[in-house]
């Protein structure tokens, strides 16, 4: 088991990465000083694979628990589901020292984390991410929240967990497409911060796709370390440090919105977004075409989409989504652009024709 520590406004917290950790949940909670009862928040498909192990480990340590099922998919991140959980916490007399335990992907962690933050103005929170995306990204850093009909993650809290449990074993139950899509975020960490991680991806892409247990432990630990370092320095996303995590995301969010969150998984949109960001960096003379090529080839080797071809997206719809997002999110349209492997810069005020050209070369329709 590897342990990565994160500094946060609520004190530092550990991320435990290893195989079979869900079956040790009870021990990990107790060892982390958590007392009281636990509300396990999960979704049916996840529960089928993992709930029994968690419950058994709680029983063994004498931890009382309740189970709360969220509705399935992204629609669980709603006002309605948030208050359903809050009322359940009241019903079972949860108190400040009791714990909300998120068992599932990013959706579960985001909703359960926000409920933990808001209930009695904050109770203990454990994030046990069962997807690769949760383990390398969303379970670390304290971003929690729900969607409004007007947009995603518009309401929430920065609420660091008390601990994070990343059981590599749970990754074996993920559908292929979802697993691959999440690899895009892992590749991202290599490009923005750690060239060696990118190198490992290039050398071992086959074993990674085959979900080699040792490699995945290495991979998740490496990503957790990078994200932990970034969010420890800029928890509330104020200093810009945390912004580098958005590499590829200015494009990706626009693709997702223009496609109304259908067709592309988030990680797939990020893969195409990173290709676009690298292309933009090349056009601006920041990155060598060879490096951009290297990134694109790796993504292809991981069976990730690298162009918009086939998605019937119009360039102007993507631009429109980008502008709306910009307006909603705060003034400037910012791009995280690679300058070499492991190093990125943040640029604003990119000429619109350049952005248009990049989306067009990526297969956007005129």
How far apart, in whole angstroms, are the C-alpha atoms of residue 4 and residue 221? 7
Among 60, 64, 73, 95, binds a second copy (CB under 8 A): 95
CB 299 within 8 A of CB 271: yes
Write out the H or E segment, with its range, that includes residue 4: strand 2-6
Q: Count interface residues toward a second copy (CB under 8 A).
A: 35
Among 44, 64, 96, 203, binds a second copy (CB under 8 A): 96
x/- mask, a second copy, residues 193-232, rule CB under 8 A, reads: ----------------------------------------
> 137 CB contacts (<8 Å, ≥6 apart)?
106, 185, 223, 227
How far apart, in whole angstroms, are the C-alpha atoms of residue 53 and residue 234? 35
Among 53, 70, 117, 275, binds a second copy (CB under 8 A): 117
The residues assigned a catalytic role are 121, 143, 185, 227, 237, 242, 246, 249, 253, 266
Up-side HSE of residue 292: CA atoms within 13 Å toward CB? 24
Comparison of 234 and 300: residue with beta carbon closer to a second copy: 234
Does 86 engage in binding with a second copy (CB under 8 A)? yes
Does 50 engage in binding with a second copy (CB under 8 A)? no
Among 44, 59, 97, 214, binds a second copy (CB under 8 A): 97
Q: C-beta of 130: minimal distance to a second copy in Å?
A: 24
Least Cα distance to 187 among 274, 129, 107 occurs for 274
Comparison of 150 and 348: residue with beta carbon closer to a second copy: 150
Considering only residues 304 to 343 of the shown chain, the ones binding a second copy according to CB under 8 A are 327-331
Comparison of 87 and 203: residue with beta carbon closer to a second copy: 87
How far apart, in whole angstroms, are the C-alpha atoms of residue 260 and residue 281? 27
Considering only residues 128 to 167 of the shown chain, the ones binding a second copy according to CB under 8 A are 143-145, 148, 150-151, 153-158
Least Cα distance to 143 among 165, 161, 130 occurs for 161
Q: How many CB atoms lie within 10 A of CB 148?
A: 13
Does 90 engage in binding with a second copy (CB under 8 A)? yes
Does 60 engage in binding with a second copy (CB under 8 A)? no
Comparison of 5 and 83: residue with beta carbon closer to a second copy: 83
Does 75 engage in binding with a second copy (CB under 8 A)? no
Comparison of 7 and 301: residue with beta carbon closer to a second copy: 7
Burial of 207 (0-12, 13-18, 19+ CB in 10 A): middle
Tokens 């979900």 correspond to: 211
How far apart, in whole angstroms, are the C-alpha atoms of residue 293 and residue 273? 14
Which two tokens mark 122?
């904050």
DSSP-derived letter for residue 244 is G
Comparison of 214 and 324: residue with beta carbon closer to a second copy: 324
Q: C-beta of 145: minimal distance to a second copy in Å?
A: 6
In angstroms, the Cα distances linking 251 to 109, 154, 176, 287 are 25, 19, 24, 18
Among 44, 59, 75, 87, binds a second copy (CB under 8 A): 87
How far apart, in whole angstroms, are the C-alpha atoms of residue 217 and residue 207? 12
> 83 CB contacts (<8 Å, ≥6 apart)?
none
Q: C-beta of 112: minimal distance to a second copy in Å?
A: 14
Q: How many CB atoms lie within 10 A of CB 113?
A: 28
The residues of the shown chain that bind a second copy, judged by CB under 8 A, are 9, 79, 83, 86-87, 90-91, 93, 95-97, 117-122, 143-145, 148, 150-151, 153-158, 236, 327-331
């Amino acid at each position: 088991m590897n342990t990565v520590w994160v500094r946060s406004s609520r004190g530092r917290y550990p991320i435990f990465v290893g195989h079979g950790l869900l079956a040790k949940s009870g021990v990990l909670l107790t060892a982390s000083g958590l007392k009281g009862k636990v509300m396990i928040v999960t979704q049916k498909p996840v529960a089928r694979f993992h709930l029994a192990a968690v419950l058994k480990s709680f029983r063994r340590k004498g931890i009382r628990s309740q189970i709360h099922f969220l509705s399935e998919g992204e629609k669980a991140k709603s006002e309605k589901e948030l208050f359903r959980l809050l009322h359940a916490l009241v019903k079972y007399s949860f108190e400040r020292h009791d714990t909300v335990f998120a068992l599932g992907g990013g959706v579960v962690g985001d909703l359960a984390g926000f409920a933990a933050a808001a209930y009695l103005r904050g109770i203990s929170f454990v994030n046990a991410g069962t997807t690769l995306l949760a383990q390398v990204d969303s379970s670390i850093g304290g971003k929690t929240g729900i969607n409004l009909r007007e947009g995603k993650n518009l309401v929430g809290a920065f609420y660091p967990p008390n601990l994070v449990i990343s059981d590599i074993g749970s990754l074996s139950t993920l559908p292929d497409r979802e697993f691959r899509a999440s690899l895009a975020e892992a590749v991202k960490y290599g490009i923005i911060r750690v060239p060696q991680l990118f190198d490992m991806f290039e050398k071992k892409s086959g074993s990674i796709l085959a979900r080699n247990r040792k490699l995945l432990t290495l991979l998740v630990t490496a990503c957790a370390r990078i994200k932990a370092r970034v969010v420890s320095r800029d928890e509330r996303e104020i200093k810009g440090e945390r912004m580098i995590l958005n590499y590829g995301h200015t494009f990706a969010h626009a693709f997702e919105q223009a496609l109304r969150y259908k067709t592309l998984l988030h990680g797939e949109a990020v893969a195409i977004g990173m290709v676009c960001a690298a292309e933009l960096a090349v056009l601006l003379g920041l990155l060598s075409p060879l490096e951009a090529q290297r990134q694109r080839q790796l993504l292809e080797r991981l069976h990730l989409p690298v162009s918009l071809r086939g998605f019937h997206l119009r360039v102007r719809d993507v631009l429109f989504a980008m502008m709306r997002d910009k307006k909603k999110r705060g003034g400037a349209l910012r791009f995280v652009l690679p300058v070499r492997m492991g190093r990125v810069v943040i640029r604003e005020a990119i000429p619109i024709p350049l952005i248009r050209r990049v989306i067009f070369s990526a297969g956007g329709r005129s």
